Amino acid sequence: MKLAKRVASLTPSSTLAITAKAKELKAAGYDVIGLGAGEPDFNTPQHIMEAAVKAMYDGHTKYTPSGGLATLKQEIIKKFQQDQQLDYKPSEIIVCVGAKHALYTLFQVILDEGDEVIIPTPYWVSYPEQVKLAGGIPVYVEGLEENEFKITPEQLKQAITNRTKAVIINSPSNPTGVIYTKEELQALGEVCVAHDVLIVSDEIYEKLVYGGHEHVSIAQLSPELKKQTIIINGVSKSHSMTGWRIGYAAGDAEIIGAMTDLASHSTSNPTSIAQYAAIAAYSGPQEPVEQMRQAFEQRLNIIYERLIQIPGFSCVKPQGAFYLFPNAKEAATMTGYEHVDAFVEALLEEAKVALVPGSGFGAPNNVRLSYATSLDLLEKAIQRIEWFISEKVR
């Protein structure tokens, strides 16, 4: 059987690949510390789980509207009003099977064959693959490490052609954890408005911000930018609900309507029970969200200081999300490896620490390390990395 051309060009997820290898070693009896996870290590808050159970017993186990429950849309609308002072109508909101599905559906409805989407590097691994699946062409713009991995308005302007349809802005960023300031977003937004480029603003990590930094949505900066922006968000990271698969998109009613029509022929609707859980997530107490944020910030501050002391590692300090993205090129070289991917593979095999190679994020000199795990395991992982390097260079 010959597979469709659209899947032939797909690159497997480096995150899932390293996680699978780590699980394989664990199953063989090895003590592996996996730092590849892209999800909080806390359980979903109790009141959210109770709401899901209640929904089942109340009989909410049937189909829902393809674009999501009206009640959930109202909670999302309230959230936008409260957090970003943004006003949306129900027709401008679609609830999807996770934020990833929202992105996938968006690209399917806005891209024709050969349309270009500007993707700053480093990027989340699924952005380019989803663009390609929709017939689009990823156009990469390098976010330089000396500029905290952020692109400039000049870089954006130079990348725009007559085929450019959209640009992706992910703030706070996966994998770097950096945040665009209000001024930086304003400058990028002006370029997009001038060239009629749609802004895809991935804000899934908005609640995980540290060190007094602030998350700003580019859509809240002006009416013109709101009109030009599709916001992608969800409850996965903020409320530790990765497995519940509830995300959403907000923006232009015509685009949201097309996404809803497409969803009606693919997923039918997001899981009914998970939607009721998401209603509880937004309408219920938010203390668990803040408690998780504080725990992540504590880990970041401790483990960052330990990480930058490792020979051959340097790192831009993250301001959000739950990842460190150190440059490990020097560490790879000093331990005898030609490239960082080989260093990461050897680290897993010999020291039993699973990091994600930065090549999957468009940054081959870096590695991604998730601190969504206990401080004890993070400390052990640092010790093992230090041991591995010392063994190779002595």
Question: From CA 169, how far away is CA 230, in angstroms rounded?
Answer: 10
Say if residue 152 is exposed, middle or buried (CB neighbours under 10 Å; 0-12, 13-18, 19+). middle
All structural domains of the chain, each given as residue ranges with its CATH number in brackets, are 5-43+287-389 (3.90.1150.10), 60-285 (3.40.640.10)
Whole-number pLDDT of residue 140: 98
Using DSSP's 3-state secondary structure scheme, residue 137 falls into strand
User: Can you name the residues that pair with 166 across neighbouring β-strands?
Assistant: 117, 198
Q: pLDDT tens for residues 148-163?
A: 999 999 999 999 999 9
Per-residue pLDDT averaged across 300-317, rounded?
Answer: 97
Q: Which residue is associated with the tokens 């934020």?
A: 99
Q: pLDDT tens for residues 1-48?
A: 889 988 888 887 767 777 788 889 999 999 999 998 889 999 999 999
User: Can you name the residues that pair with 143 across neighbouring β-strands?
Assistant: none
Judged against a pLDDT cut of 80, whether residue 78 lies above it is answered with yes
pLDDT tier, 176 (very low <50, low <70, confident <90, very high otherwise)? very high
Using DSSP's 3-state secondary structure scheme, residue 141 falls into strand
Q: Write down the mean pLDDT value for the chain.
A: 96
User: What does the DSSP 8-state code read for residue 358?
Assistant: G
Whole-number pLDDT of residue 17: 73
Whole-number pLDDT of residue 19: 76
